[in-house]
Structure formats: structure tokens, C-alpha cells
Amino acid sequence: MAPPAALDLMQLQRVANFLGLVPVPKAPAPVRVGVMGASQVATYAMLWPAKRVPEAEVVAVAARDGTRARDYARQHGIARSYGSYEALLADPEVDAVYVGLPNGLHGQWAAAALEAGKHVLCEKPFTANEEEAREVQALARRKGLLCREAFHYREHPLAAHLASLLGSPAPAWLPASCSSSSSSAAASAKAPGPGAAWAAPGVKAPAGPGAAWAAGGGARAGGAPGPGQGAEAAAAADVAEVLAGGGALGPLRSIHVEVLIPKWVFGSANIRWQESLAGGAGMDAGCYCLHAIRSLAGERPEVVQAEATLAPGSTVVDAAMRGRLRWRGSPLEGSFAASLAHEGLLPASTIDVRGERGSLRCSNFIMPVFGNFVQVTTSAMQAAGGEGKGSPTATTTTTARVYGPGEGTYFHQLSRFARDVRTVEEARGSADEGTLLAASRLLEADALDCVANMALLDAAYRAAGLQPRLTSAQALAAAKAAAKAPAGAAVDPAAGSGTLVA
Ligand SMILES: NC(=O)C1=CN([C@@H]2O[C@H](COP(=O)(O)OP(=O)(O)OC[C@H]3O[C@@H](n4cnc5c(N)ncnc54)[C@H](OP(=O)(O)O)[C@@H]3O)[C@@H](O)[C@H]2O)C=CC1
Ligand SMILES: O=C1OC[C@@H](O)[C@H](O)[C@H]1O
């Protein structure tokens, strides 16, 4: 164990890295990123990490107000600024766009960026609903452009560490390895895979279902079908793999994920409370819970039950949501809790897992750069009844902190995004089968993941007695229709009763 002073220095280093205070030189021809929205989230999710990612550079920013865009560009040393998002998209020297806008506008502007030939990194939740996610991803496939949801937490070594402990199957967002024997396929097999950055030093990636994820890409273990090889078969294989229990906890029995934001954090004018911007706790915090559950425990759970607490004065926007999940034909149970009205003082994001041979608790899985712990308690089993069976004899608890090698989630997110944009760009005009396959698998992996998460989120809203969120354009149209409709007529398709639990 390092002495406290050394720990403090390491933590200082991590925070300095997070803030982009120690810039690194740019690689030749970095991916040129344009930022939509002169916002705080763009500062810490894109501008600060870009200072430390050699393969990416923020070259332009757009805001609805040109003066604000200019001020923001000056403050952050960005070369060009625009007073409209359209103008940013018309910039031929922008390769990729970061969409950091309110939820109800994600799909619209991600689609506009794709139409303009730009790759997209879009904030979570990917779109307002599943239907919109399908449309945007179909467009990305047609255009041959990367379109990724910004689930930054998954890029950190902590996520790989958890997956390796649990023996998680390779998640949908991790493309299957390129098995072509062409020269560039062989080269890409030697190069670090999409997830290479995840493998934390000192974290031993075990053999077993989670190994592919933890080891950073590579082949899907156990011969599980990859994306495009039959989603149903893949789902069944995922659950079978988890239950086969290659992980430290043995076969998994339950996974609970919560993301709780204290009520003091977002004032009443915040976008998260606005129906017309696809607000709500499920959208904001629940999307993380569902994504983490899907990634760690296996694809395609179903929502069994959900309940929402509506925001004061709203029949649509949820201040909190909780729900239960199941996987067909499996004893594994899932549950989640998402809140924007948490009574606690500090935000909390926690993963709790129980298996036949132990339990795991992980704190702060969203922002591990600021500190987290992973506590694993396992029981040795009596030999009687066969190996690994019988009653528990001894209990061991280990606690580890997995901060990673000094960079935060957003650094890892931008690094992988830039690398994958390069892969997709290389495939453009290439006749090399391996290069084309690698790019195609990247696009497919993002498409599957985004659509699956939005589908589950929609299902949670329905189970809670609410409707999937509307896009901002749909909400505007619904509001106009409501204004024209005779008194008493029900015209708002997003309205629902919810289940009032508080
Ligand atoms: N990955 C992460 O860690 C985080 C992700 N997020 C996600 O980022 C997105 C933005 O959230 P957040 O930054 O808190 O939101 P903000 O309220 O700060 O809005 C972000 C930007 O949206 C633009 N915008 C465009 N149209 C509107 C509109 N009609 N009303 C309000 N703003 C508008 C504004 O840009 P302009 O400058 O053009 O005016 C604003 O700067 C959300 O989807 C959220 O889920 C948020 C926080 C953390
Ligand atoms: O992405 C996010 O992460 C942190 C939360 O506080 C925030 O609400 C959310 O948008």
C-alpha cells in the first residue's frame, strides 16, 4: 500500500490530467472535432480531455448565440466559432461532431451531422426514444459514419475490471474481432484493439466469458455469436455465459445499479425537468443504470416492473424511476434506481452484484477519477457435495481502488472515439476486406448498443405508466396541436399517469 502522501500526489496528478492542465503534443492529422453547444459538459467531456489525447483536436465550437460561441472559443483556445449549429456542420475542416445538447435534440442534430458527412459522438441518452435511435443509426450505416453514444464510464479500466471479476460476456458495444486473414486484419489484430485502454495495470484478466472485454477486444470467448450473427442467439449465449459463472462470484443471481443525483444539483429551469427537451430521471440517470446492467450482466433483459415519481406539476417528467428486470430462462434478477431528487448530499453511482459464491459493491462507477472502491466478498465452499458446492466455510473480503493509470473516463472515451474514426476513415475507398470488416463491425456495434439501450429505456417508461419520450420536434408539434384542440380533448401522446410513489 502506498503511503498517504504518495496517494495524494497521484490523485493530484489524476485531477490535473482530468482538467487538461498538462497538455500533450498532437499526433499528425488528428481527428478534427467540432463541438455543438458552448456548454459546461463540452468543457469537461471534450475540451479538457482533448488536451491530452494526441489523436483528437477540437477545432471549432458552435452555439445558438455567436457572441457566446466566440467568447467560449477564446476562453478555451478553439480556432473557429459559429453562431449556429448549421454553420459548424458546413465547415469542411471538421471530421467529427460532439453533440452535447438537451436529450430531445440529440437525434435531430446527430442526424444533421451525419448528413453533413461528420462522425458523431452524441451525449447520453442517445436519442429521445428507440424509434429515433433506429433512424439515426440506420442513417449512420448508410453514410458509413461512426455514431456513438457518450457512455464514458465504460471506457475506464474500472469497467473492464468489473467485467473481469463478474465474468461478463462481451457487451454489444464491443465489436467482435476481425477474423479475416488479410494483411491489414492481421495488422489490426496486433495493434491495440478498441478496448486496449481498458486493461488496467495490475488487473489480471481471467480466462472466461469476460476475458474478451477485460482484455480489450479480441475474440468473443466461448464462441458466442457477435453482432449481426443473430441477436436472439447472442442474447441467449450472453446469459448462459454469465450463469456458467466464470467470475469470482460464481453464477450471478442479482445486479442492482443506481445513479442518484441530489435534488440541489439541478434547479427547476434545468433541461432535465423539461418535457419538450425529453427530460426525466430515467433519461438522465436511468440510461446509465440500464447500460451498465446490460454491459455487465448480458444483453436483452426485459423490464418486469417500473415505477416513477413525477416531477412537481408534471404529468410526464419523472423526478425518479426505479424498476426490475429479468432475463428469459434465467434466475438472474436486475434492478435499477435513478433519481434527480435524491435526498443525499452527494451524487452516488453504485453497482451491487450478488452471485452464488459472493457479492460485489462498486462505488462511483461513473466518475472513478474522483475516487471509487470495489469491494468483493467471497465464500469458500465446503468440498462436500462436489467441487464448489455445499455450504460456505470461510469468507474473504477484498477492497480495491481502480483509478486506472491516471486518466479519466472522458480521456479514454475520446481516445477510443478518435481511433475508431480513423479505422472507419481508412475503410473509405479501401478494397481491403479486413479493413472494411473492422469498420463495419464498429458501426454495427454502436448501432446495436444505442438501439438496445433506448429500447430498454422506453420499456421502463411504459412499465411505469408513462410513454417513451418525444423528440423536441414531436413535443413542439404536440404542443401546437394541444393549443388548437378543443378544451378537454387529449392530444399529448407523451402524457401518462406514472406510478406515484412519493
Ligand atoms: N457525459 C456526461 O458526463 C454528461 C452528459 N450530459 C448530457 O449532456 C447533455 C446536455 O446536458 P447539460 O450540459 O447539462 O445541458 P445544458 O443545459 O448545459 O445545455 C447544453 C447546451 O445545449 C444547448 N441547447 C440547444 N438548444 C437548447 C435548448 N432549447 N434549451 C437549452 N439548451 C439548448 C445550449 O447550447 P448553446 O451554447 O448553443 O446555447 C447548451 O449549452 C444532456 O443530454 C446530458 O444528458 C450532461 C452532463 C454530464
Ligand atoms: O451524465 C451525467 O452524469 C452526471 C450527472 O450528474 C448528470 O446528471 C448526467 O447528465
Q: What value does the mean pLDDT take over residues 414-423? A: 98
Q: How far is the CA of 455 from the centre of ligand 1 (A)?
A: 22
Cβ atoms 494, 316 nearer than 8 A: yes
Mean of the per-residue pLDDT values of the chain: 84
| Alpha-carbon span 275 to 428, nearest angstrom | 40
Q: How far is the CA of 152 from the centre of ligand 2 (A)?
A: 11
Whether the pLDDT of residue 104 is over 90: the answer is yes
Q: How far is the CA of 264 from the centre of ligand 2 (A)?
A: 13
Q: Which atom of ligand 2 is nearest to the CA of 259?
A: 5
Q: Considering every ligand atom shown, identify the ligand nearest to the alpha carbon of residue 41 and give its number.
A: 1
Q: How far is the CA of 272 from the centre of ligand 2 (A)?
A: 10
Geometric angle at alpha carbon 199, from 195 and 204, rounded to 5° = 140
| Alpha-carbon span 337 to 281, nearest angstrom | 9
Dmax (CA) for the chain in angstroms is 74
Q: Whose CA is nearest to atom 5 of ligand 1?
A: 123
Helix H, strand E, coil C: the string for 94-141 is CCEEEECCCHHHHHHHHHHHHHCCCEEEECCCCCCCHHHHHHHHHHHH
* Pairing label, strands 318-326, 333-342: antiparallel
Q: Whose CA is nearest to atom 9 of ligand 2?
A: 284
> Where do the domains of the chain lie?
14-154
Question: Residues lining ligand 1, judged by CB closer than 6 Å?
Answer: 37-41, 45, 63-64, 68, 100-103, 105, 123-124, 150, 152, 271, 277, 284
Q: Per-residue confidence at 7, pLDDT binned at 50, 70, 90?
A: low
Q: How high is the pLDDT of residue 494?
A: 46
Q: Which atom of ligand 2 is nearest to the CA of 284?
A: 10
Q: Whose CA is nearest to atom 10 of ligand 2?
A: 284
ipTM greater than 0.85, yes or no? Answer: yes
Q: Which atom of ligand 2 is nearest to the CA of 124?
A: 1
Which has the closest alpha carbon to 282: 334, 335, 323, 318?
318
- Taking only the tens place, the pLDDT of each residue in 86-102 is 999 999 999 999 999 99
Give every strand in the sheet of 358-363, ordered side by side.
302-310, 318-326, 333-342, 252-262, 348-355, 358-363, 374-381, 392-400
Which pTM does this prediction carry?
0.87
Q: Which of 39, 40, 364, 366 to mutate to test the pocket of ligand 2 (most atoms within 8 A of CB)?
A: 366
Q: Which helix (H) or strand (E) holds 333?
A: strand 333-342
Q: What value does the mean pLDDT take over residues 424-443? A: 95
The arrangement of secondary structure in 14-154, i.e. its CATH architecture, is: 3-Layer(aba) Sandwich (3.40)
Chain centroid to Cα 236, Å, comes to 22
Which has the closest alpha carbon to 310: 495, 102, 124?
495
| Alpha-carbon span 218 to 193, nearest angstrom | 7
- Taking only the tens place, the pLDDT of each residue in 175-219 is 875 333 333 322 332 322 332 222 222 223 334 445 555 554 433
| Alpha-carbon span 172 to 27, nearest angstrom | 30
Q: Whose CA is nearest to atom 7 of ligand 1?
A: 123
**Highest mean pLDDT out of 8-22, 211-225, 289-303:** 289-303
Helix H, strand E, coil C: the string for 446-473 is HHHHHHHHHHHHHHHHHHCCCCCCCCHH
Q: Does the CA dihedral 148-279-408-360 come out positive or negative?
A: negative
Q: How far is the CA of 340 from the centre of ligand 2 (A)?
A: 9
Q: Which atom of ligand 2 is nearest to the CA of 340?
A: 8
| Alpha-carbon span 284 to 278, nearest angstrom | 9
Whether the pLDDT of residue 391 is over 80: the answer is no
